[in-house]
Amino acid sequence: MSTIFNKNSVYFGVLWSSYYALGGVDLYDGNYGSIRYWAAVLLNVLVTLCLPLMLFMTMFSFDLPLENLMNFNITLTSACASVKFVVYVTQLKKIVEIEQRVAQLDRRADTDEQRSYKAQMARKLVIMSTVYKYIYCCAIVTTCAPPLFQKERSLPFPAWFPTDWTTSLTSYIIAVSHQILAIVVQVLQNFVDDLFPPMIFLIIVGQCEMLIQRLSSIGYDHCDQCANERKLIECIRDHQKIIRLHELTMDVISYPLLVQFVVISIDVGTALCALLFYADNMNDKIYFISFIFAMTMQILPICYLGTMVEYSFGYLHFAVYSSNWVDQSISYRKSVLIFAERTQRLPKQIAGNFIPIALTTFLANCKAAYSFCTLLADTGEKK
């Protein structure tokens, strides 16, 4: 695998660099004789495995409900990041295949209009990855920095630690160093987990758009009927490749997105309950407002682009009839009818065979978060 992935990839370079830094590529390779493999194992044991466990060991152990809710949110978010990262690492070979199929489709851009659209799509992906970089860098700084400037000793996360860091300076330095390392690693894990789905959906939308351009232009360039039939057959093959690309994408992102949808509805509901009923000072209110905004923004892009993918596949049906099919041969028109029927069958976009990846799911997630908030509030009143 390490000889296949390319950090200078046209679209996925930043993802491969991140997976390499996180040890994901070395873990997938399983080269037990390599120092990098055991370094990746150590890093992921210390962070991916230990951090959620250390947070879990202090769950609901605080006196104030606000601190318990905050710890519950952090623990659930950390566990979710670890689970998603492990699932993505096991699917790295399919991500390589996705990249290869995208490269095959890119080579089909044979007009100035299509090449211009491909360049525009590449710019959008660069902008998307840059925005994500800045957001997640800000998350690292705002999480790690505040405890370092407080008068009393404190940790970024309220987690269990095997030694008493409150009385020993050495233990405190080790505890803070471990948590800063864990925060950087988990934020980077979240970065690659959250960036890949919208990136690949944007690419699928772009490939559908370029196929629409190729389909709708057939028969208008004064080529003979045989040449137009060959163009149609090539477009049909392109459609099959895009369908396979979408299937591979769903194999990779389906279950991580299911985990993300469920966890974010619980996280947002918990944070909303803390904001409305327990947060008294402005710092706590700003924290929970920022947390709710960050959680909802994690799923809004993928839900929006999921709807765009569905729309793009649906528009292929109209693109088939936008070509000059009337003046073509009988064989061409028969192929058009069969292909048009095939394009009416849209690929499934369901996270974990349970939740649709669409804007309707974003609204359903918000409703689920509100319902969980009211459940927590009612439980708190009964106590």
The pair of three-digit structure tokens given for residue 29, joined into one six-digit string = 């390779």
* Residue 347 lies inside a defined structural domain of this protein: yes
28 to 49, 283, 351: CA distances (angstroms): 17, 42, 24
The pair of three-digit structure tokens given for residue 48, joined into one six-digit string = 């991916």
* Residue 4 lies inside a defined structural domain of this protein: no
The pair of three-digit structure tokens given for residue 313, joined into one six-digit string = 């596949």
The phi and psi torsions of 351 (rounded to 5 degrees) equal -75, 115
* Residue 104 lies inside a defined structural domain of this protein: yes
Question: What's the CA gap between 178 and 62, in Å, rounded?
Answer: 22
The phi and psi torsions of 355 (rounded to 5 degrees) equal -120, 125
The residue type found at 54 is M
Q: What is the pLDDT of residues 290-340, one digit of tens each?
A: 888 888 888 999 999 999 999 999 999 899 888 888 888 888 889 889 998
Question: What's the CA gap between 222 and 253, in Å, rounded?
Answer: 43
Q: What angle is formed at CA 173 by the lines to CA 168 and CA 176, rounded to 5 degrees?
A: 120
Q: What is the pLDDT of residues 122-169, one digit of tens each?
A: 999 999 999 999 988 888 888 887 777 777 788 888 888 888 888 888
What is the pLDDT, as a whole number, of residue 272?
92
**3-state SS class at 298:** helix
Q: What is the pLDDT of residues 227-247, one digit of tens each?
A: 889 999 999 999 999 999 999
- Longest CA–CA span in the chain (Å) reads 86
Q: What is the pLDDT of residues 37-82, one digit of tens each?
A: 999 999 999 999 999 999 888 887 777 788 888 888 889 999 999 9
Which pTM does this prediction carry?
Answer: 0.91
Share of the chain above pLDDT 70, in %: 97
What distance, in Å, lies between the first and last C-alpha atoms of the chain? 54
Question: What's the CA gap between 291 and 271, in Å, rounded?
Answer: 7
The pair of three-digit structure tokens given for residue 237, joined into one six-digit string = 């093959």
What is the pLDDT, as a whole number, of residue 8?
59
195 to 136, 174, 269: CA distances (angstroms): 11, 31, 24
* Residue 39 lies inside a defined structural domain of this protein: yes
Binning pLDDT at 50, 70 and 90, where does residue 4 land?
Answer: low
Structural domain that includes position 270: 12-381
The DSSP 8-state label assigned to residue 348 in this structure reads P
Please name the helix (run of DSSP H) or strand (run of DSSP E) that holds residue 356, with its range, or none: strand 355-356
Q: Average per-residue pLDDT in the chain?
A: 88
* Residue 57 lies inside a defined structural domain of this protein: yes
Which residues sit opposite 351 in a β-bridge? 355
The pair of three-digit structure tokens given for residue 240, joined into one six-digit string = 């099959």
Number of domains in the chain: 1
* Residue 2 lies inside a defined structural domain of this protein: no
Question: What's the CA gap between 342 and 255, in Å, rounded?
Answer: 27
**Dihedral (Cα; 112, 113, 118, 123), 10-degree rounding:** 100
What is the pLDDT, as a whole number, of residue 219?
84
* Residue 7 lies inside a defined structural domain of this protein: no
What is the pLDDT, as a whole number, of residue 383?
52
For residues 357 and 302, the answer to whether their CB atoms sit within 8 Å is yes
The pair of three-digit structure tokens given for residue 128, joined into one six-digit string = 């998307």
What is the pLDDT, as a whole number, of residue 253?
95
What is the pLDDT, as a whole number, of residue 199?
95
What is the pLDDT, as a whole number, of residue 246?
96
